[in-house]
């Protein structure tokens, strides 16, 4: 036992109890909501979603104010202008854009659209238009178009621009500074309309969800709390409703009440509360068996008090998750309804109506579909991310 020598007497001394205590790592105790928030913050995708939703909300509220246009301003001379303009140079300071309908617009170098140029001559038989710009003769010859379409080749040459008899090539592309998302077929600014659509979509998502929340929580709460025969009957009714494709009823309600923003909100809110009712009932059933509810009852708390103070707050986690998950589906449904023509009425715009409006000119003016589509997808994605994160953060099973 050579080791023996190495052990000094002081090593055999007892460790004082306080020192041992210190070595224990204690975790600060957090409330349920603090803990949930801490977990949510750690979920990068959720935070990204949350930031996107906040940005979108700010943009929806203040964006339209920043613009010189209103959502209903029409300017037929400015119709179907894309967000990216292919431009030609006429002289030092003079730039033009050729519209898909073979009209010329004057531009600044930065990409601001100045005006639709008046044509000097419009020969519809020989298919050309001529303009006079800065003393030069600019000819738009679109006589190739018919043959190009016939050939079926999407890249075939359709037109030619000649300045003083000489064919010119485009200088490049510039972002449309006047209408950054372009304009629609009535010359309305799409940027303002898309942001206006964001208002409608977020509003519908939010209010419809709140209505569902109240109906669902009340129905599920009563059913779960009362229990017995009442619960049985109430849940049978829910079962029956759940087997019907609810979108049909939303459509019926829209037909009955007439299209419009208010109708959409009422229809969505009054039909889709079934899931919420089921969740709340399940939660209430399990919570009402807990000791603390019994304790509250023994000291004479009223039913309403028990519901408001104990049941609802404890079921809140699952309810919030269900709410977050419902918002994107409400937004989806609104877009869907608007797309089939049951949405907000013109000139109001929602993303669904914008997409529907764009459908006719899809082949030529795809950008009109692109912006509302991107906005729907990003918004729904953001809510899904947030919802997933909330579910992980609020699920007590995962709590460490």
Partner 1 sequence: MGKYVVRRIIAMIITLWFVCTITFFLMHSIPGGPFTREKELPEAVLQALNEKYHLNDPLWKQYVDYMKGIVVFDLGPSFSRPGATVNQFIEDGFPVSAKLGGVSVLAVIILGIPLGIISALKQNRWEDYVVTVLATVGVAVPGFVIGTTVIYIFSAKLGWLPAYGLTSWKHYIGPVLALSGFSLAFVARLTRSSMLEVLQQDYIRTARAKGLAEGVVIYKHALKNALIPVITYMGPMIAAIMTGSFVTEKIFAIPGMGKYFVEAVGNRDYTLIMGATVFYAAFSIVMIFIVDILYGVIDPRIKLED
Partner 2 sequence: MDRRILELKDVKTSFYTHLGEVQAVRGVSFTLDRGEALGIVGESGSGKSVTSMSIMKLVQYPGKVKDGQILFKGQDLVPKSDKEMMGIRGDEIAMIFQDPMTSLNPVYTIGDQIMEATMKHQGLSKAEARQKAIEMLKLVGIPSPEKRVDNYPHEFSGGMRQRAMIAIALSCQPDLLIADEPTTALDVTIQAQILELMKDIKDKLDTAIILITHDLGVVADVCSRIIVMYGGLIMEEGSAEEIFYTPKHPYTMGLLKSIPRLDLAEKQRLVPIPGTPPDLLKPPTGCPFASRCPYAMNICIETMPEYTVSETGHRAACWLQHPDAPKVEVETGVKRGEI
Where along the sequence are the contacts to partner 2 (CB under 8 A)? 1, 4, 7, 10-15, 20, 23-25
Task: Classify residue 61 as left (phi > 0), alpha (psi -120 to 50) or beta.
Answer: alpha
Contact criterion met (CB below 8 Å) for 331 and 379: yes
Nearest to 376 by CA among 70, 56, 58: 56
159 binds partner 1 (CB under 8 A): no
Taking contact as CB under 8 A, which single stretch among the options 19-27, 116-124, 178-186, 368-376 is the one that binds partner 1? 368-376
20 binds, among partner 2, partner 1, none (CB under 5 to 8 A by kind): partner 2
Least Cβ distance, residue 116 to partner 1 (angstroms): 26
CA distance 347 to 127: 35
Consecutive H or E run containing 133:
strand 128-133
Q: Which is nearer to partner 2, 16 or 245 (CB)?
A: 16
Of 61-69, 102-110, 128-136, 375-383, which segment contacts partner 1 by CB under 8 A?
375-383
Contacts (CB under 8 A) with partner 1, residues 238-257 = 239-240, 243-245, 247-249, 251-256
Residue selected from 64, 220, 328, 389 as contacting partner 1 according to rule CB under 8 A: 328
Contact 170, 86 (CB under 8 A): yes
Going by the DSSP 8-state scheme, the letter that residue 227 receives in this structure is -
Alpha-carbon separation of residue 383 from 77, 180, 270, 283, 321 (angstroms)? 39, 26, 22, 23, 11
From the CB of 245, what's the least distance to partner 1, in Å?
4
- Per-position b or e across 100-109, b if 16+ CB within 10 A of its CB: eebbbbbbee
**Residue 58, SS3 per DSSP:** helix
Under the criterion CB under 8 A, does residue 396 sit at the interface with partner 1?
no
Residue 8 or residue 298: which is nearer to partner 2 going by CB?
A: 8
**CB neighbours of 24 closer than 8 A, spacing ≥ 6?**
none
Q: How far is the CB of 40 from partner 2 (least distance, A)?
A: 19
The residue (of 311 and 335) whose beta carbon lies closer to partner 1 is 335
Residue 339 lies near partner 1 (rule: CB under 8 A) = yes
Residue ranges binding partner 1 (CB under 8 A)? 152, 154, 239-240, 243-245, 247-249, 251-256, 328, 332, 335-336, 339-342, 352, 355, 358-359, 362-363, 366, 369, 373, 376-378, 380-381, 384
């Amino acid at each position: 036992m050579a080791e023996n020598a190495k052990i000094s007497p002081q090593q055999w001394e007892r460790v004082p109890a306080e020192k041992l205590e210190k070595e224990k790592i204690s975790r600060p105790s957090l409330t349920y909501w603090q803990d949930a928030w801490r977990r949510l913050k750690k979920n990068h995708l959720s935070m990204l979603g949350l930031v996107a939703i906040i940005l979108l909300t700010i943009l929806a509220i203040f964006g339209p104010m920043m613009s010189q246009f209103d959502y209903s301003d029409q300017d037929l001379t400015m119709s179907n202008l894309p967000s990216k303009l292919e431009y030609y140079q006429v002289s030092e300071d003079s730039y033009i854009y050729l519209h898909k309908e073979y009209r010329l617009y004057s531009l600044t170098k930065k990409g601001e659209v100045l005006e639709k140029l008046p044509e000097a001559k419009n020969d519809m038989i020989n298919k050309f238009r001529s303009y006079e710009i800065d003393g030069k003769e600019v000819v738009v010859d679109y006589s190739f178009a018919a043959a190009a379409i016939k050939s079926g080749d999407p890249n075939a040459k359709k037109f030619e621009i000649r300045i003083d008899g000489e064919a010119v090539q485009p200088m490049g592309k510039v972002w449309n500074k006047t209408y950054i998302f372009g304009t629609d077929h009535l010359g309305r600014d799409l940027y303002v309309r898309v942001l206006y659509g964001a208002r409608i979509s977020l509003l519908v998502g939010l209010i419809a969800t709140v209505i569902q929340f109240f109906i669902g929580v009340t129905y599920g709460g009563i059913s779960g709390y009362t229990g017995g025969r009442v619960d049985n009957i109430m849940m049978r009714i829910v079962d029956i409703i759940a087997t019907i494709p609810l979108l049909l009823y939303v459509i019926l309600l829209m037909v009955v009440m007439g299209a419009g923003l208010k109708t959409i909100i009422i229809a969505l809110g009054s039909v889709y509360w079934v899931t919420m009712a089921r969740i709340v009932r399940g939660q209430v059933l399990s919570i009402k068996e807990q000791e603390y509810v019994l304790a509250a009852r023994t000291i004479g708390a009223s039913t309403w008090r028990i519901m408001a103070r104990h049941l609802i707050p404890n079921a809140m986690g699952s309810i919030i998750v269900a709410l977050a998950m419902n918002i994107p589906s409400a937004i989806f449904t609104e877009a869907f309804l608007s797309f089939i023509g049951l949405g907000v009425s013109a000139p109001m715009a929602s993303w669904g109506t914008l997409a529907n409006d764009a459908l006719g000119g899809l082949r030529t003016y795809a950008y009109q579909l692109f912006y509302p589509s991107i906005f729907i997808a990003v918004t729904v994605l953001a809510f899904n991310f947030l919802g997933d994160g909330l579910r992980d953060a609020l699920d007590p099973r995962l709590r460490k």
